[in-house]
Amino acid sequence: MGAIENLEHENLIQYIRYRKSRGLQAKTINSELKKIAYYLEFKGLPDIADPIRLKGVQRRIPHDLFTGKQLDRIYQKFPESKTPWTHENILKTYHLILGLRIYQGLQEQELTKLEISHLQLEKGKIYIPSTKRTNKRVLDLKPFQILPLHEYLLTERKSLDDEIEGNFLFHKKRLIRGMSRIKAMINHYEPGLKSMAQIWASVITNWLKHYNLREVQCMAGHKYVSSTEGTERII
């Protein structure tokens, strides 16, 4: 399959077909997919393996998905997870990052590539640059996201000017370290969250309830429609 950093949905499909041709049962292949998912999460890479499971075996992920209302609650209650040791600006930064994951479906690699110029706050939109796995696109921001993003630019981001190379929106190392902290903070009030990939799968699945497949493919930046289908469908 090549380097793990270049793993794409189509590679997993080819892998599944190969393993099936070798006579492996669905349960065994699903176990292997789960191990790949754990490794991707450990490496901090988009967990494209987690939503994929073969039919014929009870699939775990649909029972773990969050509804739109549950995702709203996760976002709204996040400020309550503040501890005496949590700096106010850090809390606000984590909150807006969580918002970008919940309402725009952004993954970690996409967040690290965002630049200040990608924010179109006056239009209520954000430009998402392409990655090895996703296409570029422009997405709508929720009205309640605009002011926090504007305040971030004037406070936390401005204070990091000397530490951030170029015009990136977030400090890459702090962002990557922050993902585990964000999950831990969410777990204080939502123990059902097993991984941040679970939020991503929930977002895409909820989009599929309101938009057609092609629209969701564009919103998610998927290069292949099969990647969008694979989020919800059992192969």
Q: Does some domain include residue 39?
A: no
Instruction: Tell me the C-alpha distance between 168 and 3, whole Å.
Output: 26
Q: Does some domain include residue 22?
A: no
- Strand ranges in the chain using DSSP code E only, listed in sequence order: 119-120, 125-128, 137-140
Residue 227 has pLDDT above 70, yes or no: no
Backbone angles phi, psi at 6, to 5 degrees: -100, 10
Expressed as residue numbers, the domain containing 152 is 65-235
The predicted-structure confidence for 190-214, as pLDDT tens digits, reads as follows: 999 999 989 999 999 999 999 998 8
Q: Does some domain include residue 181?
A: yes
Tell me the average pLDDT across 42-66: 63
The predicted-structure confidence for 61-105, as pLDDT tens digits, reads as follows: 445 899 999 999 999 999 999 888 788 889 999 999 999 999 999
Instruction: Tell me the C-alpha distance between 90 and 167, whole Å.
Output: 19
pTM: 0.72
Q: Per-residue b/e over 194-229, b at no fewer than 16 CB within 10 Å? A: ebbbbbbbbbbbbbbeeeeeeebbebbbbbeeebbb
Please answer whether residues 143 and 94 qualify as being in contact, where contact means their C-beta atoms are separated by less than 8 angstroms: no
116: helix, coil or strand? helix
> For residue 234, what pLDDT is reported?
36
Tell me the average pLDDT across 24-48: 76
> For residue 233, what pLDDT is reported?
47
Tell me the average pLDDT across 28-41: 79
Number of structural domains (the chain) is 1
CATH number at residue 170: 1.10.443.10
Q: Does some domain include residue 196?
A: yes
Residue 10 has pLDDT above 50, yes or no: yes
Mean pLDDT of the chain: 85
